[in-house]
Chain A
Amino acid sequence: EADIYQTPRYLVIGTGKKITLECSQTMGHDKMYWYQQDPGMELHLIHYSYGVNSTEKGDLSSESTVSRIRTEHFPLTLESARPSHTSQYLCASSISGNTIYFGEGSWLTVV
């Protein structure tokens, strides 16, 4: 069982609001990721980090931003949420760079 935690699990917010999705892992993994997944669809990498103070954009363009100030913490922020941002956001981490372990996900609905 992977020790990676996401909050909130479910969130409904209004258009234009700022939202931060929290992600923490207690495994000491150096690499962390954010994936976006629509229901029944594949996962798309939107951000990743290979250590403190390093962040990179993933394969899928996203208006969200991330930060990595501490090894265990990798929050994702949307400055102004839109309905097109409605999706599930999955945080993950790894130490080897191959097998990655996922959190339970954050379901975001923007109305």
Chain B
Amino acid sequence: GESVGLHLPTLSVQEGDNSIINCAYSNSASDYFIWYKQESGKGPQFIIDIRSNMDKRQGQRVTVLLNKTVKHLSLQIAATQPGDSAVYFCAENNPRRGTSYGKLTFGQGTILTVHP
């Protein structure tokens, strides 16, 4: 069935390093992908999104790369800071599931820990 999974459940980096969080998705029909950051005790916070007609999108210190050939999504965080420590979820939207209803499929999450 449909699934969105993360390769690395935990990632530890040093402050100032660049971080890369990976995500694999199985449904080639998915046309929209979102990365969320969830800090302890809080709801997921939107970071960046990308549509399937793009392969790269940049935000402030973050870049999302989409490789549709291998159905792989990654989130790159530049100059990682202790405040970036959180759980990161990727989510996909499959239009067959009703695009307009926001039926996103979420992965399990990657725990990012940034050491000072």
A105-B43 in contact given A43-B106, A99-B34 (Cβ < 8 Å): yes
Q: Does B96 belong to the interface (CB within 8 Å)?
A: no
Q: Could you tell me how many residues of chain A have their Cβ less than 8 Å away from some Cβ of chain B? A: 28
B49 A42 Cβ-Cβ under 8 A: no
B49 — which chain A residues lie within 8 A by C-beta? 98-99
* Residues of A26-62 whose CB lies within 8 A of B: 31, 33, 40-45, 48, 50, 56, 58-59
**Partner of B103 from A40, A59, A102, A103 at Cβ < 8 Å:** A59
Q: Determine the distance from Cα of A101 to Cα of B102 in the docked complex, in whole angstroms.
A: 11
Size category of the B interface is 20 to 34
* Residues of B49-100 whose CB lies within 8 A of A: 49, 87, 89, 93, 99-100
B111 — which chain A residues lie within 8 A by C-beta? 40
A90-B43 in contact given A48-B102, A98-B102 (Cβ < 8 Å): yes
Q: Does A104 belong to the interface (CB within 8 Å)?
A: yes
A105-B42 in contact given A48-B102, A50-B101, A97-B99 (Cβ < 8 Å): yes
**Interfacial residues, chain B to chain A (CB-CB below 8 A):** 32, 34, 36, 41-46, 49, 87, 89, 93, 99-104, 106-109, 111
